[in-house]
Amino acid sequence: MKAKTISIEADGLKIKGTAERMIQLLAASLFVHALPPAANVQPVVASAVPEIGQPWPGQGGINGGFVHARGDVPAHYLIISAKDVGSLEWGCRGVEVKGLSKTDGLTNTQVLIGNDDERQYPAANACAEYQADGHHDFYLPAAAELYNCWVNCPEVFAQDCYYWSSSQRSANNVFSMDFADGNQLSHGKSYELRVRPVRRFFI
C-alpha cells in the first residue's frame, strides 16, 4: 500500500512528502529559528603532534612518545624536559622506601617528596621543583619510563653517564639507565647521577 502524501506550499515553493517526513522538516525548521546563530565560531583543529624526540611547543619539553594506559594511569604522551637538572644523589642510603613502582614515576616522586620526616631525596626534589612553559608537574621517571625514553629517543640524553630512575631496587640501590647502549643497572643511593625530569600530557 502506497504511503499517503501531503504537500505544503509557501512563497511559490511546494514541498510534497509523507506526513512523517513533513513533521521532521517542520521540527528541523523550528530548531533552526529557535537556536541563536553560531557567529564567528571557528572549527576546532587538533594540534599537530611533533615527531618523537622533537620539542613540543607549550608542553615544557620534548615528545618522548606515546604511553598506553596502565592500571590507574590513562594513556598519555611522555614529555621529557629540554635539559637535565644536574648530577645529584638519590638520597637516604640504607632506607627502604615503601610504595615505589617500576612503572609510575609520578607516584614514586610524590611518595619521596611527601615523606613526613627529615629524609631528603635530592633527585626527586629537583624534578618536582622543575618548571617549564607554565607546567609544574614534572617528576623523576620510573625505570620503565626511562626505558621508554631509550627506545624512542635516546639521542636527547647525554651518552656518557647514567641517569637516576625513581624505582628503588633495595634499601641501598636504585635502578639507573645508560642511554648510550640501553644498559640498566642499579647504583648506590649516595652516588651522584644525572637527573632528567619528565611530565605527562594526557590526550
Task: Please tell me the distance from the alpha carbon of residue 165 to that of residue 178, in angstroms, as a whole number.
Answer: 11
Residues 59-94 have pLDDT tens digits of 999 999 999 999 999 999 999 999 999 999 999 999
Rounded (5°) CA angle 171-172-174: 95
Q: How far is CA 6 from CA 3, 15, 21, 36, 106, in A?
A: 10, 8, 10, 31, 66
Could you identify the residue written with the cell 637527573? 195
Mean pLDDT of 54-63: 98
The pLDDT of residue 119 is: 81
User: Domains in the chain, please, with CATH?
Assistant: 5-34 (no CATH), 55-202 (3.10.100)
Mean pLDDT of 172-200: 97
DSSP 59-110: TTEEEEEEE--BTTB--EEEEEESS---EEE---TT---TT--SS-HHHHHH
The pLDDT of residue 22 is: 54
Mean pLDDT of 5-12: 58
Query: Is the distance from CB of 197 to CB of 172 less than 8 angstroms?
Result: no
Average pLDDT, rounded, for the chain: 86
Query: What does the block give as the cell for 81?
Result: 624536559
Residues 98-151 have pLDDT tens digits of 999 999 999 999 999 998 766 899 999 999 999 999 999 999 999 999 999 999
Strands of the sheet containing 162-168, edge to edge, are 87-89, 192-194, 162-168, 173-178, 183-188
The pLDDT of residue 57 is: 96
